[in-house]
């Protein structure tokens, strides 16, 4: 974080400063900010966030002993005399975290050349964030979220990593309900806002796809006047956001596969080593070999190229940098195992759209004589749509002629029943209550030439099953 005095931080978060021995209001703090006491080091700021499982106030003492210079708390915490720490008492630690992020970003922005990109969408946010960060890092110091730091805690923590020397901040905005993206994007008012797609991810929290569309529009509404909205021309719900951008005084740039897109992909070919296509931007045409598995990631690459272009990056530079990316992120279409048995671990997140895309990728990269094996778990946060969407994925798996459909977990049982009902009743589809049971089955079932997709929402825990399979068949 940038250098700030204790009194400046207290003013930023609207809190009351309680000084520890040796500190004064003008004592300067410039360490990292975190809500996890285990990563706090000398000079850092610990935010004691109450949580569902535990309360951060229990760890203020540990943070102080680790060298924290400041704790942001909702009530004073007594620490040992050997490890005192100044504390700022606030009404809400999470709101204070956001207020501090807003202040820090505003200061850096006013003093330098910081440019900010915000990314949202029902799927593809993390991949697009990583692709864009890879493009921008060769242009100047770039800050982007670690993993999927895109919620009310993760997004501000990412923002607080900016320094006076930071040139680009790439923020990923997720949401499980209305108003969340507006709050997060409002902290930074992006110069460029990217909307990837509107689907059924987290639909249970929003109440349907129309409400999801409205929530994703919140990013466009937060773009700075004179900024740019980078929109998916192939998604009608995203395309409808153009009028909102124009009302904000923002320009619109289109990416997609169709002819109306300003940045588009042609001649797309999917293989086991990635996806090849031709990127078209105006009169420019550039071949791209995207090593991240899955045809659906072409759209994420297009979005990253479009956003980078608005920040002055040439098409040849953007393409060359994208070709160095091997995986988008751990547990996201991550190749494991070996050529003998290839495991594709994509079990960090799952929605109906991403599940469908992953199954299509499995079908596309499997050669004649090889078997397609899908290890599938539940898709979470779908609310009233959960049953029918699990049915649809079960049907699709059968229709794609997946030779083995291994369904894991009680919450995914309806997917298994749909597959059986569609005609996968001769052992092609099997069901297991636990990942351990599925692992033992797969150890005996998998054979040379198999291509295995492991796909589920994070809560189903199949990412660890994918890792175990990858190690066993490496």
pLDDT surpasses 80 at 148: no
Q: Could you read off the pLDDT of 63-114 as tens digits, one per residue? A: 999 999 999 999 999 998 888 999 999 999 999 999 999 999 999 999 888 9
Whether 178 and 215 have beta carbons less than 8 Å apart is answered as yes
Q: How confident is the model over 340-348, as a mean pLDDT? A: 94
Q: Is 49 annotated as a binding residue?
A: no
Q: How confident is the model over 332-346, as a mean pLDDT? A: 93
What was the pLDDT predicted at 249?
93
CA quadruple 258, 304, 467, 383: dihedral sign: negative
What was the pLDDT predicted at 146?
86
* Yes or no: domain 112-322 corresponds to CATH 3.40.1110.10: no
What was the pLDDT predicted at 207?
61
Q: Could you read off the pLDDT of 290-331 as tens digits, one per residue? A: 999 999 999 999 999 999 999 999 999 999 999 999 887 888
> CB under 8 Å to 302, separation ≥6 — which residues?
255, 256, 261, 263, 264, 265, 279
Q: Is 455 annotated as a binding residue?
A: no
Residue predicted with more confidence, 53 or 238: 238
Distance CA 474, CA 461 (A): 21
Least confident segment among 24-38, 412-426, 434-448 = 412-426
Q: Is 125 annotated as a binding residue?
A: yes
Q: Could you read off the pLDDT of 103-145 as tens digits, one per residue? A: 999 999 998 889 999 999 988 999 999 999 999 999 999 999 9
**Cα angle vertex 268, ends 264, 274, to 5°?**
115
pLDDT surpasses 70 at 266: yes
What was the pLDDT predicted at 349?
86
pLDDT surpasses 60 at 202: no
What was the pLDDT predicted at 201?
60
> CB under 8 Å to 56, separation ≥6 — which residues?
35, 37, 46, 47, 48, 49, 50, 93
What was the pLDDT predicted at 355?
94
pLDDT surpasses 80 at 52: no
What was the pLDDT predicted at 125?
93
pLDDT surpasses 70 at 203: no
Q: Is 189 annotated as a binding residue?
A: no
User: Which segments of the chain belong to CATH 3.90.190.20?
Assistant: 334-472
Average pLDDT, the chain: 94
What was the pLDDT predicted at 204?
54
- What is the second-level CATH architecture of the domain 4-91? 3-Layer(aba) Sandwich (3.40)
What was the pLDDT predicted at 427?
74
Q: How confident is the model over 438-447, as a mean pLDDT? A: 96
Q: Is 122 annotated as a binding residue?
A: yes
pTM of the model: 0.90
Of 157, 121, 115, 161, nearest to 139 (Cα)? Answer: 115
User: Which segments of the chain belong to CATH 3.40.1390.10?
Assistant: 4-91
**Cα angle vertex 128, ends 1, 454, to 5°?**
110
pLDDT surpasses 90 at 469: yes
User: Which segments of the chain belong to CATH 3.40.1190.10?
Assistant: 112-322
CATH number corresponding to 334-472: 3.90.190.20
Q: Could you give the C-alpha distances from 34 to 87, 98, 160, 211, 413, in angstroms and in order?
A: 15, 12, 9, 32, 39
Residue 39: pLDDT band (50, 70, 90) is very high
Of 392, 408, 406, 404, nearest to 356 (Cα)? Answer: 392
Distance CA 217, CA 370 (A): 43
């Amino acid at each position: 974080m940038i250098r700030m005095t204790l009194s400046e931080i207290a003013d930023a978060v609207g809190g009351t400063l309680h000084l520890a021995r040796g500190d004064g209001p003008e004592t300067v703090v410039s360490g990292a900010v975190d809500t996890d006491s285990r990563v706090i080091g000398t000079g850092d700021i610990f935010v004691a966030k109450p949580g569902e499982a535990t309360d951060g106030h229990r760890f203020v003492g540990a943070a102080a002993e680790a060298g924290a210079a400041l704790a942001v708390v909702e009530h004073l915490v007594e620490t040992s005399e050997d490890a005192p720490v100044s504390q700022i008492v606030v009404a809400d630690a999470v709101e204070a975290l956001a207020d501090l992020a807003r202040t820090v970003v505003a200061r850096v922005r006013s003093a330098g050349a910081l440019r900010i990109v915000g990314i949202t969408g029902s799927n593809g946010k993390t991949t697009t964030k990583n692709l864009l960060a890879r493009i921008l890092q060769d242009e100047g110091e770039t800050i982007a979220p670690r993993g999927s730091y895109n919620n009310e805690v993760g997004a501000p923590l990412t923002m607080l990593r900016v320094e006076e020397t930071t040139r680009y901040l790439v923020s990923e905005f997720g949401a499980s309900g209305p108003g969340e993206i507006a709050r997060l994007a409002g902290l930074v008012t992006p110069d460029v806002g990217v909307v990837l797609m509107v689907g059924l991810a987290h639909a249970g929290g929003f109440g349907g796809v129309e409400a999801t569309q409205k929530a994703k529009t919140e990013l466009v509404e937060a773009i700075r006047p004179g900024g740019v909205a980078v929109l998916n021309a192939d998604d009608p719900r995203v395309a409808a956001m153009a009028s909102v951008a124009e009302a904000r005084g923002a320009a619109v740039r289109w990416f997609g596969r169709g002819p109306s897109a300003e940045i588009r992909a042609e001649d797309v070919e999917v293989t086991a080593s990635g996806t090849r296509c031709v990127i078209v931007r105006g009169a420019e045409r550039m071949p791209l070999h995207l090593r991240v598995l899955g045809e659906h990631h072409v759209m994420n690459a297009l979005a990253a190229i479009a956003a980078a272009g608005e920040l002055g990056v040439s098409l040849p530079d953007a393409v060359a940098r994208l070709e160095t990316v091997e995986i988008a992120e751990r547990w996201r279409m991550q190749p494991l195992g070996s050529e003998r048995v290839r495991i594709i671990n994509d079990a960090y997140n799952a929605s109906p759209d991403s599940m469908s895309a992953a199954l299509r990728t499995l079908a596309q990269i499997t050669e004649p004589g090889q078997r397609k094996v899908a290890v599938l778990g539940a898709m979470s946060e779908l609310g009233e749509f959960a049953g029918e969407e699990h049915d649809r994925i079960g049907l699709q798996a059968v229709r794609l002629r997946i030779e083995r459909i291994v369904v894991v977990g009680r919450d995914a049982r309806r997917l298994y029943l749909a597959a059986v009902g569609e005609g996968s009743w001769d052992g092609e589809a099997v069901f297991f209550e636990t990942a351990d049971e599925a692992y033992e089955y797969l150890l005996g079932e998998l054979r040379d030439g198999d291509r295995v997709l492991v796909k589920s929402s994070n809560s189903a825990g199949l990412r660890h099953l994918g890792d175990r399979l990858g190690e066993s068949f490496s």
